[in-house]
């Protein structure tokens, strides 16, 4: 039958065509295989420690880069061996003859009266341990509240004392506060107001007008002291923490050519939480007197920028991480703080095995018991009670571990006159006693609670003796205990359990990362730590020690000083070229917005 449909013609393929087709197929498969191998070999390996039960693919994406690798300086900084000499070279080459002034509430050396004379105390403080080697290296001036009972007896006529004792390298300038000033400024506004405001620990902030007035007055007193100690109009002033939110603006008004670097050591809340502060605009305005504002993590820096965007008429340049307010530009960066490397006191401590023997003998620990430790101030943000819950859960789910684990909690008394801290102290003691009654025996106590101060040397001895260190902050800026524990373990042993809500979890990716609000999850992580082989401990500890070594406190300070040097050089260039026509109070900083506008015109 005839149809209109064209006839299909099949053309046979030649042998040559078949060979070409096979070559193309094989080549395509080969290229795919090469691409797959390349992808696998170049994918960053995420340590097993970065994952916990229930984690998903999003968790992997969040832990690809350590926090310090995101701060914009990693390419240059990775090529530098950071040490005191590095800081001195930066000052000599980039900031010649520049005076460095550190301002903090806590002083690095405290003198107290004793029956047999005067006792020198070096507080076991993360801030002090981070800043003291910096100030030594810079031969600077440290301004702090003089709260020791013998502090007035040890200063000269200008309220100064040269420190460290026996080998002075910088000046400590003490500021005196009345009991009423200290109570309202420090215990009141700073620690009943700003501290709970900035930490997600579900403790309601308390704001009183009288506390605010004292806070403002004390900030003014410290500003007067900075001006009095400045040898010229162009010092670098390192303002530390939430005690001095108003200080940068006060210094700027009187030393307009100073470089002011403010570092906020605690978290910054999101703008909705921050909005409850009655003096929210004043605090932001005070901080924006800084040339640079630093936070531990980019997340907290972003929260600060969002707060400014919501409450102040300002211009924000997110690409430059800069805020323009009142004719001045402030850079807002993440600078993850760290510790001294190598830790100075390690040279004074015996080997790990001897430290273990000392601690076990001191506390009468069973020979076969694993030692788990926690070290911090007694504070409701540190998650101490949550550790006890985790231990309770471990014993409930795995009763075979009763008698084989001892938890040693070192909790230095802190702000004991505040009701929230008194309640925490009582609750910790009550829960520790309950666990001991429930699981303890004649020669076994599962929880040892040491609510007393320890020196840094004593703390490092405990680190070296521990099998496990628990850092389970409910919310924290960095938490240097985690890094101190890693630095103390030159034997490359020990396991770190680390809260995902501590800034250190962005860097110490090989730790066992936990959610402190989940007692079951923490108990399983604790079991994993108890049963971890020595080889796996070494595989985890080694890269963490390398991270703390490379990203030490000198890198933290050096990154800020290098940024300060860039600001000063560009500001000087602007004045020479005429691009710096701004109010005199901002001559030391670069207005990125003005530079962009003039370049475009």
Confidence of residue 377 (pLDDT cuts 50, 70, 90): confident
Which among 330, 417, 406 has a CA at the least distance from the CA of 370? 406
Helix axes of 247-254 and 280-287: crossing angle, nearest 10 degrees: 50
Q: Give the per-residue pLDDT at 585.
A: 39
Q: Rounded to whole angstroms, what are the CA distances from 473 to 38, 109, 260, 403, 469?
A: 40, 27, 30, 26, 12
Average pLDDT over residues 200-214: 95
pLDDT at position 597 over 60: no
Asked if residue 102 lies in contact with residue 244, where contact means CB atoms within 8 angstroms, the answer is no
Q: Give the per-residue pLDDT at 471.
A: 97
pLDDT at position 15 over 80: no
State the DSSP H helix or E strand holding residue 101, giving kind and residue range, or none if neither: strand 100-103
Map tokens 């290229």 to a residue: 31
Tokens at 26, concatenated: 């094989």
Q: What is the pLDDT of residues 105-124, one digit of tens each?
A: 999 999 999 988 999 988 76
Q: What is the pLDDT of residues 536-557, one digit of tens each?
A: 999 999 999 999 999 999 999 9
Using alpha carbons only, give the angle 264, 72, 265 rounded to the nearest 5 degrees. Answer: 10
CA 118, distance to chain mean position in Å, is 33
494: left (phi over 0), alpha (psi -120 to 50) or beta: left
Distance CA 418, CA 373 (A): 26
Helix axes of 419-439 and 384-397: crossing angle, nearest 10 degrees: 20
- Which residues have CB under 8 Å from 389's CB, separation 6+? 519, 522
DSSP 211: H
Dihedrals φ, ψ of 10, to 5°?
A: -100, 120
pTM of the predicted model as reported, rounded to 2 decimal places: 0.82
Q: Give the per-residue pLDDT at 380.
A: 92
Q: Give the per-residue pLDDT at 596.
A: 38
Average pLDDT over residues 67-92: 70
The burial of 318, by beta-carbon neighbours within 10 Å (0-12 exposed, 13-18 middle, 19 or more buried), is given as: exposed
DSSP 144: E
Map tokens 């004074």 to a residue: 348
Which among 303, 318, 343, 351 has a CA at the least distance from the CA of 477? 303
Q: What is the pLDDT of residues 402-434, one digit of tens each?
A: 999 999 999 988 888 888 989 999 999 999 999
Using alpha carbons only, give the angle 339, 491, 353 rounded to the nearest 5 degrees. Answer: 115
pLDDT at position 28 over 70: no
Q: What is the pLDDT of residues 246-295, one digit of tens each?
A: 999 999 999 999 999 999 999 999 999 999 999 999 999 999 999 999 99
Asked if residue 367 lies in contact with residue 444, where contact means CB atoms within 8 angstroms, the answer is no
pLDDT at position 357 over 50: yes
Q: What is the pLDDT of residues 498-532, one digit of tens each?
A: 999 999 999 999 999 999 999 999 999 999 999 99
């Amino acid at each position: 039958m005839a149809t209109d449909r064209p006839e299909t013609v099949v053309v046979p393929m030649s042998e040559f065509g078949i060979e070409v087709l096979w070559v193309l197929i094989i080549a395509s498969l080969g290229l795919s295989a090469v691409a797959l191998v390349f992808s696998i070999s170049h994918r960053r390996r995420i340590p097993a420690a970065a994952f916990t039960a229930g984690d998903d693919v999003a968790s992997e994406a969040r832990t690809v880069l350590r926090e310090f690798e995101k701060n914009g300086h990693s390419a240059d900084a990775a090529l530098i061996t950071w040490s005191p000499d590095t800081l001195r070279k930066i000052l000599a080459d980039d900031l010649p003859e520049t005076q460095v002034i550190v301002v903090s509430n806590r002083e690095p050396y405290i003198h107290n009266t004793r029956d047999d004379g005067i006792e020198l105390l070096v507080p076991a403080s993360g801030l002090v341990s981070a800043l003291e080697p910096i100030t030594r290296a810079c031969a600077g001036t440290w301004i702090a509240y003089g709260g020791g009972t013998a502090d007035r007896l040890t200063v000269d006529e200008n309220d100064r004392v040269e420190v460290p004792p026996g080998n002075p390298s910088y000046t400590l300038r003490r500021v005196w506060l009345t009991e009423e000033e200290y109570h309202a400024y420090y215990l009141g506004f700073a620690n009943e107001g700003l501290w709970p405001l900035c930490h997600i620990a579900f403790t309601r902030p308390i704001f009183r007008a009288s506390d605010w007035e004292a806070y403002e007055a004390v900030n003014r007193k410290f500003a007067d002291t900075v001006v009095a100690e400045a040898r010229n109009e162009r010092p670098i002033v390192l303002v530390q923490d939430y005690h001095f939110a108003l200080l940068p603006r006060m210094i700027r008004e009187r030393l307009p050519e100073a470089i002011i670097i403010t570092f906020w050591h605690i978290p910054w809340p999101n703008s909705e939480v921050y909005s409850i502060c009655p003096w929210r605009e004043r605090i932001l305005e005070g901080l924006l007197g800084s040339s640079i504002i630093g936070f531990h993590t980019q997340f907290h820096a972003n929260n600060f920028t969002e707060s400014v965007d919501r409450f102040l008429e300002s211009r924000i340049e997110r690409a430059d991480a800069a805020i323009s307010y009142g004719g001045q530009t402030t850079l807002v960066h993440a600078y993850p703080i760290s510790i001294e490397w190598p830790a100075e006191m390690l040279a004074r401590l015996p080997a790990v095995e001897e430290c273990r023997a000392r601690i076990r003998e001191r506390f009468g620990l069973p020979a076969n018991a694993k030692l788990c430790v926690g070290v911090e101030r007694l504070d409701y943000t540190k998650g101490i009670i949550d550790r006890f819950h985790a231990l309770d859960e471990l014993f409930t789910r795995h009763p075979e571990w009763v008698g084989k684990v001892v938890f040693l909690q070192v909790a230095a008394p802190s702000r004991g006159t505040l009701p929230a801290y008194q309640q925490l102290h009582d609750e910790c003691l009550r829960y520790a006693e309950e666990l001991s009654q429930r699981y303890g025996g004649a020669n076994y106590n599962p929880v040892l609670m040491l609510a007393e101060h320890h020196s840094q040397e004593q703390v490092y001895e405990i680190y070296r003796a521990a099998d496990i260190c628990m850092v389970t902050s409910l919310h924290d800026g960095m938490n240097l205990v985690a890094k101190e524990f890693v630095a103390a373990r030159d034997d490359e042993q020990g396991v770190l359990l680390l809260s995902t809500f501590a800034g250190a979890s962005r860097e110490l990716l090989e730790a066992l990362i936990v959610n402190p609000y989940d007692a079951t999850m923490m108990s399983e992580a604790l079991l994993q730590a108890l049963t971890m082989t020595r080889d796996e401990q070494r595989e985890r500890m080694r890269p963490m020690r390398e991270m703390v070594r490379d990203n030490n406190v000198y890198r933290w300070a050096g990154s800020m000083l290098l940024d300060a040097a860039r600001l000063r050089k560009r500001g000087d260039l602007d004045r020479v070229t005429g691009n710096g026509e701004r109010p005199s109070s901002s001559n030391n900083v670069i207005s990125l917005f003005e530079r962009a506008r003039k370049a475009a015109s």
